[in-house]
Amino acid sequence: MRIILVGQGPFGEKVLEALFKKEAGVVASFSPSDKRGEGMHALADKLGIPSFRPKLMKDPEIFDTFVKLQPDIVVLAFVTDILPEKLLAIPSQGSICYHPSLLPRHRGASAINWSIIQGEKWTGLTIFWVDKGIDTGPILLQKEIEIDPDATTGSLYFNALLPMGVDALAEAVDLIKKGKAPRKPQDESKATYEPPCDDRVAAINFGKWLNEIYNLVRGCDPQPGAFTTYRGKKVRFYDARMSSVVMDKQPGEIVLIENGSVHIAVKGGVIKVGKFRVDNGEKIGPFEFSTRVNLKIGDRF
């Protein structure tokens, strides 16, 4: 079987390594021309696999290269570029893609973020056959996992959905090789789609309840970082925990500054924030943050 692998970052590298070890038949690797593709490109060179780093996958020469490679399948392993439909129609058996949710739920670019922001207890991953829609193609396989109540988007991805996804893509390739890969249509009645998780959705509303604020902070950690303002500065929260101990304080009021966290009163309890980022600076701890912005107990975000 002839496989073209398109990907980036640690996920793309690990999928390339896994498929190479299984002698799956990777004939070429495609990764971005910027730093996101550096690791995958270096690994492909080390393994003796032709590596391409286009600025855009829609460039005409990429189509010609795909045709010359004569792939049986194209495997998409964490792809943020848009691949034109004519490119994905080249492989004789189709193209498959990894998505970090249980499709049709959480279609879109920020599936992990939204599963946490919406307070869900379960999520998973889907390997699906690519069609012209956004995450709408038939399902090849799915894996389910419980979300730890204190998980962040970063921990859920790196500790669970990344390694599970590597194994799942390798399993999907095996099923295709054996002619046993299903194509189960998605149930459109259960489909959800959310926008990218960026600053348009990451602002903290201290009028909301404890769980809602905590889930937003976790879901935006590490990117983009749920934020509020203090004395005209944008402040982002990371490494948060929560306590349901109710205090007679105003929402957003600072009730304690200690070595490990700043405690902030909210409706229904307290948010304990371990790291902060002010404007475009680096992440800093509670004491450095409170000194830098002159934060005191009784102040409010």
pLDDT (tens digit, 9 = 90+) per residue, 113-136? Answer: 999 999 999 999 999 999 999 999
Question: What number is the average pLDDT over the span 279-299?
Answer: 96
Q: What is the pLDDT of residue 273?
A: 98
Question: 88 pLDDT band (50/70/90 cuts)?
Answer: confident
Assess whether pLDDT exceeds 90 at residue 296.
yes
CATH 3.40.50.170 is held by the domain 3-190: yes
Question: 104 pLDDT band (50/70/90 cuts)?
Answer: very high
Question: What number is the average pLDDT over the span 27-50?
Answer: 97
Task: For residues 99 and 11, give the distance between their C-alpha atoms in angstroms, rounded to a whole number.
Answer: 12
Class of residue 202 by CB neighbours under 10 A (exposed 0-12, middle 13-18, buried 19+): buried
Question: 179 pLDDT band (50/70/90 cuts)?
Answer: very high
Domain 210-293 fold: Methionyl-tRNA Fmet Formyltransferase; Chain A, domain 2 (3.10.25)
pLDDT digits (tens, 9 = 90+) for 57-79: 999 999 999 999 999 999 999 99
Structure tokens at 35: 């730093």
State the pTM of this model: 0.95
Residue 258 CB: number of other CB atoms within 10 A? 10
Question: 82 pLDDT band (50/70/90 cuts)?
Answer: confident
Question: What number is the average pLDDT over the span 206-216?
Answer: 97
Q: What is the pLDDT of residue 39?
A: 96
In the chain, domain spans: 3-190, 210-293
Q: Find, among 63, 71, 69, the residue nearest to 91 by Cα.
A: 71
Question: What number is the average pLDDT over the span 87-101?
Answer: 95
The C-alpha R_g of the chain, in whole angstroms, comes to 22
Q: What is the mean pLDDT of the chain?
A: 96
Task: For residues 30 and 51, give the distance between their C-alpha atoms in angstroms, rounded to a whole number.
Answer: 6
Assess whether pLDDT exceeds 90 at residue 300.
yes
Q: What is the pLDDT of residue 206?
A: 97
